[in-house]
Amino acid sequence: MGTRKKVHAFVRIKPTDDFAHDMIKYGDDNKSIDIHLKKDLQRGVVNNKQTDWSFKLDGVLHNASQDLVYETVAKDVVAQALDGYNGTIMCYGQTGAGKTYTMTGATENYKHRGILPRALQQVFRMIEERPTHAITVRVSYLEIYNESLFDLLSTLPYVGPSVTPMTIVENPQGVFIKGLSVHLTSQEEDAFSLLFEGETNRIIASHTMNKNSSRSHCIFTIYVEAHSRTLSDEKYITSKINLVDLAGSERLGKSGSEGRVLKEATYINKSLSFLEQAIIALGDQKRDHIPFRQCKLTHALKDSLGGNCNMVLLTNIYGEAAQLEETLSSLRFASRMKLVTTEPAINEKYDAERMVKNLEKELALLKQELAIHDSLANRTLVSYDPMDEIQIAEINSQVRRYLEGTLDEIDIINLRQIQEVFNQFRVVLSQQEQEVESALRRKYTLIDKNDFAAISAVQKAGLMDVDGHLVGEPDGQGFGLGVTSFSTKPGKKSKSKKTFKEQLSSSARKEGASSPVSGKDFEVSTSKTQLTPSSKEGDVKDLPLRDLETSSAEPLPSDSPKEESRPPRPSTPPPKPVAFEDFKNERGSEINRIFKENKSILNERRKRASETTQRINAIKREMDMTKEALNFQKSLREKQGEYENKGLMIIDEEEFLLILKLKDLKKQYRAEYQDLRDLKAEIQYCQHLVDQCRHRLLTEFDIWYNESFFIPEDMQVSLKPGSSIRPGMVPVSRLVSLGEDDQDKFSQLQQMMLPEGPDSISFYNAKVKTEQKQVGLEQRGSLC
């Protein structure tokens, strides 16, 4: 276990114009806060009521920005979570003091985001900085409302409502919520979408102290699991970060709550009172029993309160004199929390399957070691221990010296050493292949031999003959590249002309390669720009495949005309929109046709998805009506008296028909819902291919426009056969819009104009998706 450490407690004061400077003062170290109350003269001269308090904390945040709050309170906790330590960050305080703003922030403004979205960003940034580990991130969002547990992410279509109520379960690994959905997130934007989805489902209400008061406790949990990519060790680490936004304590006389809000306030104050009792018990070293089970909040946070966890409390208080009593109560809670100690330790787990495989492999190696030891009985010193990093580095050095010729032979010691020698040969060979490839990429441009448009342009540039062999590569093997000298003339052999293998060997010598590379070809994979629908859609199955075969078997009609038939160049380049229309009708007609067909298929899928959604809504309404009728029949049967025959309930024909109808409707609903999910997957795939096709059309137009209007006349000779300039080597600064819809334009404008930079793109994209979903649900509700 780890060493014990105290809980860190910070205080954040809500900014106000009526700050009580004469009653609230901060220490010089910014780690203490003093409260002074004036004596009540009405109580007389003898008045022993306490008027001064001093609280020692880990930090006082006054007029602090969201950036400073996160750097001070949460950054270290999140960073240690990726090393295997659990962490909990809790916001506590009076209602309206700024707990939710501190934890979640203003979701409309990226700059004002709170601890929770910043923690998600930090987790994914740190994952990118650790390529040696395979790290998975999962999240869950729990709400405790009136002592009942709710899953804030149950509204997602693939989750659905739980049949059984959620319960808190304890096991040797800790406390977990049975029935709470946990969602895998592979990227930052997905995590933000889940956060915003849960935020829309939270329960809030209005009273005199706060217009948007949270009426429940919420726990957003980030689960991290890290496996090493480089080590075959069966050990891996797990951790979780609990981000707790507590509902605010409130005095009913000040908040003026009544009705449902009054009931909610009663439950909130009760659970916070139990939380304080648990904290007092944890701070008392003489207490053996800690009352965690008094309420759902303390039971769910049992691991965090005094357990294996890095715990941080952020207390939000008012700075006004009118709220001084509640401020004192919150500061007392923070002081009690500082007395609590936790014992954080790295959460290491073992993969049983990998452990068995490693043990089997180790057993086989030991048997081979003993066999060699028996055969080499004359050798007295044989080490059977696994090699450490220093020994591996020494073997790598020996292999390199052997390849360079400075070492005549490598001495054989044991089987492990032999295996590591071969492994290091593989490592060195792979490194040298990468070095040679990078050197070639700096000197040449690799092309895809299946890209007929590029091959046609290369032939026109004189880099490939009519038989499909690259110039400088008469045997037709090796890399898809080659450059001829400017002095090469048709019909004559150039003495300075090199074969590809000579170019490769000279490049390797220049880059310091010490051993030959393998003869395997480099292949540049290209994405398909023609849409291929699923086998379910018979009406459009043959057309895209036929187009794809045509585009693959024949060069796209994007080949520029021959030099002698090229029309004279205009004095000034035409506007790009005009040139783009000409390009789509001539050289880019084939790509434009494929793009339009893909776009039409995408629109057709969207239309079918909309029709399927309408059918699902209609079936749902009919199911609801059938259920109401069935319930009415059941109640009528119960009133009239139930009849049984041999222990079986007897129902009338009308109720029986309603049951059959409801069963059929449920079957139709499941079938339609499955079709809708399939359509959504197809739409996503179609959209991806449409974007690829659009990008290719723009790239082809960019190359054509530069070659046609920007290359000087005296350099046109460089584009003739035998030249070193090939299509696409002249860059451009801008691309032309290609019939983008409003969403495409918004995405491009967003990336260029966001003041916070590219880091905020995931945040805003997730926010836009959540808002669009809410609008769709509202429209669907109005239709129903």
- Does 94 carry a binding-site annotation? yes
Q: Which residues contact 757 (CB under 8 A, 6 or more apart)?
A: none
Instruction: Look up residue 156 and give its DSSP letter.
Output: S
CA distances from 531 to 453, 534, 545, 595 (A): 19, 10, 8, 9
Q: Which residues contact 191 (CB under 8 A, 6 or more apart)?
A: 120, 124, 137, 139, 185, 766
E strand residue ranges, 110-260: 133-145, 148-151, 167-171, 174-178, 183-185, 204-207, 210-214, 217-228, 235-245
- Does 2 carry a binding-site annotation? no
CA distances from 89 to 102, 216, 530, 678 (A): 11, 17, 50, 40
**DSSP assignment string, 33-61:** EEEE----GGG-S------EEEEE-SEEE
- Does 323 carry a binding-site annotation? no
Parallel, antiparallel, or unpaired for β 133-145 and 183-185? antiparallel
| Three-class DSSP category at 493 | coil
- Does 454 carry a binding-site annotation? no
| Three-class DSSP category at 413 | coil
Residue 431 phi, psi dihedral angles, 5° rounding = -65, -40
- Does 97 carry a binding-site annotation? yes
Q: Which residues contact 234 (CB under 8 A, 6 or more apart)?
A: 350, 351, 352, 354, 355, 358
The secondary structure element, H or E, covering residue 91 is strand 87-93
Q: Where are the alpha helices (DSSP H) in 444-553?
A: 452-460, 500-510, 542-553
- Token code pair at residue 516: 């030959």
What is the C-alpha to C-alpha distance for residues 382 and 390, in angstroms, rounded to an integer? 18
What is the C-alpha to C-alpha distance for residues 433 and 513, in angstroms, rounded to an integer? 9
Residue 269 burial (CB count, 10 A): 16
CA distances from 59 to 5, 21, 26 (A): 17, 18, 10
Q: Where are the alpha helices (DSSP H) in 175-294?
A: 188-200, 252-255, 260-283
- Does 579 carry a binding-site annotation? no
Amino acid at position 756, single letter: E
Q: How many separate helices (H) and strands (E) can be counted in the chain?
A: 20, 21
Q: Is 225 left (phi over 0), alpha (psi -120 to 50) or beta?
A: beta
CA nearest neighbour of 462 among 715, 729, 724, 721: 721
Annotated binding site for ATP: 93-100
Binding residues: 93-100
